[in-house]
Amino acid sequence: MTTVDLPLLPLGRGTDLNSERGVECPGDLPTASDPDLVARARAAKEALGDKVFVLGHHYQRDEVIAFADVTGDSFKLARDAAARPDAEYIVFCGVHFMAESADILTGPDQQVVLPDLAAGCSMADMARLTQVEMAWQAMAEAGVAQSVVPVTYMNSSADIKAFCGRNGGVVCTSSNAEVALTWAFEQKPDAKVLFLPDQHLGRNTAVLQMGLSLDDCVVWDPHRPNGGLTADQLRAAKMILWKGHCSVHGRFSPDVVDELRAEVPGINVLVHPECQHEVVLKADLVGSTEFIIKTIEAAPAGSAWAIGTELNLVKRLAADHPDKRIVFLDKTVCYCSTMNRIDLPHLVWALESLVAGTVVNRIEVDPETERWALVALERMLALPGKTARD
């Protein structure tokens, strides 16, 4: 059987800035108990002034969000970074693939810093370029590759975005997946979509928004020969879903939805489309992180909401909306462990290093990968409009 270069410890030691694999922080971190951390972060930011632009993803800790110039989801933050060409340093408080996208969309003189290189994304790591190229080859041998349009979720490494750019495909976000899939199906007669790397976003969008059936979807398992699919299954499929998922959103279960509805009559269930199909089917509303935030902002006082997304964001929404009852859609604590790697000590270390003239943890996509990833990103930017759930 053919082997792939899948690391045994995807977030272990070692240096590989071109993958989602994390590495050790090379500097002297301040201790988490340092009582001066907040003052140090403030002083470093003030010293850098307009030279630095700090981006904070919605799933970041409060202690980090407090120093963000702007907050948002991964795509909004990449665009925000691109809109600040004067900022010499972009400090990205998020995960590796997001910092890559910011590097691709910003100018060559701007340097993107990820405060902790171990902040990868388990979902992005589930689709590695070698695996995707092997799948593409297998699809060619099955006689279907010429009909396949690859579509990758923003939550993927730069080389997967570049693969899509090179092969006539596009990037999508959780806000515009339906528009991107509609575009993809129009690209070729009898088009099929290879959807990377999140099977749940692909399935939920195809079935719930585009009217495809579950039977139109097959799952490509990169750990099985030929993805675990026969040539006939590939030929019959409309959606070839990569077997990847978010380890945070994949945890929510339909049973908990039932339990919460029994316990809190009238509660509204609001989930992200990275959740399993069975959970989304039971929810009242499904949409991107930005959609979740806007929905809660617009909700009437006294309304009750169970939210299925990352816990830092749900806690922040609950704190910001004390007039509404907001609960988490899981029985256990469910943070994104890699997002949480960015903490105040790492942020202070990154900012103070910049003040001292040293750029640490720079994320730099190689020019060839950047070129093709940009093709796929620009195809997305040219897509018509946005969905109602932007």
Q: Interface residues with ligand SF4 (CB under 6 A)?
A: 59, 95, 121-123, 155, 246-248, 310, 336, 338-339
The tokens 């899509």 sit on which residue?
Answer: 164
Q: Quote the least distance from Cβ 134 to ligand SF4, whole Å.
A: 23
- Cβ proximity to ligand SF4: between 138 and 275 the closer is 275
Least distance between ligand SF4 and beta carbon 11 (Å): 11
Q: Is 233 helix (H, G, I), strand (E, B) or coil?
A: helix
Q: How far apart are CA 217 and CA 65, in angstroms?
A: 39
Q: Which is nearer to ligand SF4, 59 or 349 (CB)?
A: 59
Counting Cβ atoms within 10 Å, is residue 5 exposed (0-12), middle (13-18) or buried (19+)?
Answer: exposed
Smaller CB separation from ligand SF4, 127 or 360: 127
Nearer to ligand SF4, 292 or 339 (CB): 339
Choice between 97 and 185, CB closer to ligand SF4: 97
Q: How many CB atoms lie within 10 A of CB 248?
A: 25
Give the nearer residue to ligand SF4 in terms of CB position, either 119 or 212.
119
Q: Give yes or no for a contact between 343 and 64, defined as CB atoms under 8 angstroms apart.
A: yes
| Ramachandran class of 234: left when φ > 0, alpha when ψ lies in -120 to 50, beta otherwise | alpha
Min dist. Cβ of residue 198 to ligand SF4 (A): 8
Q: List the one residue out of 223, 281, 231, 225 whose CA is nearest residue 252.
A: 281
Are the C-beta atoms of residues 280 and 203 closer than 8 Å to each other? no
Is the separation of the CB atoms in 326 and 305 below 8 Å? yes
DSSP assignments along 130-177, one per residue? HHHHHHHHHHHHTT-GGGEEEEEESSS-HHHHHHHHHTT-EEE-TTTH
Please state the closest distance from residue 249 (CB atom) to ligand SF4, in A. Answer: 6
Q: Supply the DSSP string of 57-115, one letter for each residue.
A: ETTS-HHHHTT-SEEE-HHHHHHHHHT-TT-SEEEEES-HHHHHHHHHHS-TT-EEE-S
For residue 160, give the nearest of 123, 191, 190 by alpha carbon: 123
Give dist(CA 96, CA 21) in Å, integer: 9
What's the closest the beta carbon of residue 58 comes to ligand SF4, in angstroms?
A: 10
Q: Which is nearer to ligand SF4, 20 or 103 (CB)?
A: 20
At its nearest, how many Å lie between ligand SF4 and the CB of residue 57?
8
Shortest distance in whole angstroms from residue 203 CB to ligand SF4: 16
* Nearer CB in complex with ligand SF4: 30/273: 273
